[in-house]
Amino acid sequence: MADDCPKCEEGLPPWLATFADLMSLLMCFFVLLLSFAEIDAIRFKKMAESMKDAFGVQRDVPVIEPPKGTSVIKQHFTPSVIPEPSLIEEVRQQTTDESKPELGQPDGAGEVDREKAAEVVREAMLQEVAEQAEEIRQALQLEIEESLVSVETEESKIIIRINEKGSFPSGSADLNDDFYGVMVRISEAVANTPGNVVVAGHTDNVPISTSRFRSNWELSSARAVTVVHALLEDPNVDPKRVSVEGHADSQPLVPNDSAENRAQNRRVELVIQRGSDTEDTEVLNFQ
């Protein structure tokens, strides 16, 4: 029986060469299809997630923005010594190209998110301003009870208002000797509170004309300068934060129709400005 069985020829069978050619042609065919195809980034991401457990080629990477692109095949080939990113790295990369619309995001969604972020920053800033104003009130509690100083908030501003009572003699820009102790505590409060400081002088509407002051403009400016000099005696106060303004009677708190109201309008205000446009922009960029 063994002698009747035909002997097989040595080497690979002839049909295997045809099979190998067919597989090579099929591979080239699918590569050409892939090169002409347009990639859907969302579908590609879903497909990659479904295959990551089976093939282990995709790992979890936190994504802030969806991938953006049109094709996974490199459009141009240039030989280079430095290796270029692989296909998977290109798809996973975090893009910052804002000129293309984000996939899967409705129109205007990015603007809404920025508005919400700005509102959150603003609310946090106002809360911080309120807390800092309360700390200043506690530091100047005695002066507030004696009506020498008042502390208020206006949006993102903290206003430390120095009344003329006890601070300046009438028609003078020289601080009373007893008030320098108050200025020391005010300087400490300003040094511990961030923001630019505008020292603004105000008067009533009664005109003044002396050898030293030609008008209320000079008187209000001189009083503001005097307060700044007392403020900068504290080395912790940065002079670059401070500026001086004189408003005369142009910004009264109350109408100048009585002696009590005119006395209330004669004041020097230290306005600590928080939440300026520049500061808001820096916070948003940081976020």
Q: Does pLDDT of 265 surpass 70?
A: yes
Structure tokens at 254: 């109350």
Q: What is the pLDDT of residue 113?
A: 74
Whether 30 is covered by a domain: the verdict is no
| Residues 6+ away with beta carbon under 8 Å from 211 | none
Q: Using DSSP, state whether 33 is helix, strand or coil.
A: helix
Mean pLDDT of the chain: 77
Distance CA 92, CA 122 (A): 34
C-alpha closest to that of 181 among 201, 161, 167: 167
Percent of the chain's residues with pLDDT above 70: 71
Q: Angle of helix 180-191 relative to helix 109-139, nearest 10 degrees?
A: 150
Q: What is the pLDDT of residue 132?
A: 87
**DSSP code of residue 193:** S
Mean pLDDT (whole number) for 116-137: 85
| Residues 6+ away with beta carbon under 8 Å from 250 | none
Count of domains in the chain? Answer: 2
Q: Angle of helix 109-139 relative to helix 277-286, nearest 10 degrees?
A: 120
91 and 133 both lie in a single domain: no
Q: What pLDDT digit, counting tens, does each position of 35-44 carry?
A: 887 777 777 7
169 and 85 both lie in a single domain: no
Whether 140 is covered by a domain: the verdict is yes
Q: What is the pLDDT of residue 278?
A: 40
273 and 168 both lie in a single domain: yes
Whether 176 is covered by a domain: the verdict is yes
Range of the domain at 277: 129-283
Q: What pLDDT digit, counting tens, does each position of 139-194 carry?
A: 888 888 888 898 988 888 899 999 888 788 888 888 988 888 889 999 998 888 88
Mean pLDDT (whole number) for 260-281: 76
Q: What is the pLDDT of residue 269?
A: 92
Q: What is the 3-state secondary structure (H, E, C) of 204-257?
A: CCCCCCCCCCCCHHHHHHHHHHHHHHHHCCCCCCCHHHEEEEECCCCCCCCCCC
Q: What pLDDT digit, counting tens, does each position of 218-254 carry?
A: 999 999 999 999 999 999 999 999 999 999 999 999 9
pTM > 0.85: yes or no: no
Higher pLDDT, 80 or 138: 138
Q: Does pLDDT of 95 surpass 90?
A: no
277 and 164 both lie in a single domain: yes
- Helix H or strand E segment including 196: strand 196-202
162 and 84 both lie in a single domain: no
pLDDT bucket at 287, cuts 50 / 70 / 90: very low
Q: What pLDDT digit, counting tens, does each position of 97-106 carry?
A: 444 554 555 5
137 and 243 both lie in a single domain: yes
153 and 275 both lie in a single domain: yes
C-alpha closest to that of 154 among 177, 170, 130, 178: 130
Q: What is the pLDDT of residue 201?
A: 93
Sign for the CA dihedral angle at 173, 179, 180, 186 comes to: negative
Q: Give me the torsion for CA of 169, 175, 176, 177, rounded to 10°.
A: -160
Sort 135 into a burial class: Cβ within 10 Å, 0-12 / 13-18 / 19+.
middle
CATH, residue 225: 3.30.1330.60
Domain final residue pick, 46, 75, 95: 95
Q: What is the pLDDT of residue 277?
A: 42
151 and 274 both lie in a single domain: yes
Q: Does pLDDT of 263 surpass 80?
A: yes
C-alpha closest to that of 66 among 110, 29, 25: 110
Q: Does pLDDT of 83 surpass 60?
A: no
244 and 160 both lie in a single domain: yes
Q: Which of 125-134, 226-235, 251-260 has the lowest mean pLDDT?
A: 125-134
143 and 188 both lie in a single domain: yes
**DSSP code of residue 121:** H
- Helix H or strand E segment including 151: strand 149-154
Higher pLDDT, 252 or 280: 252
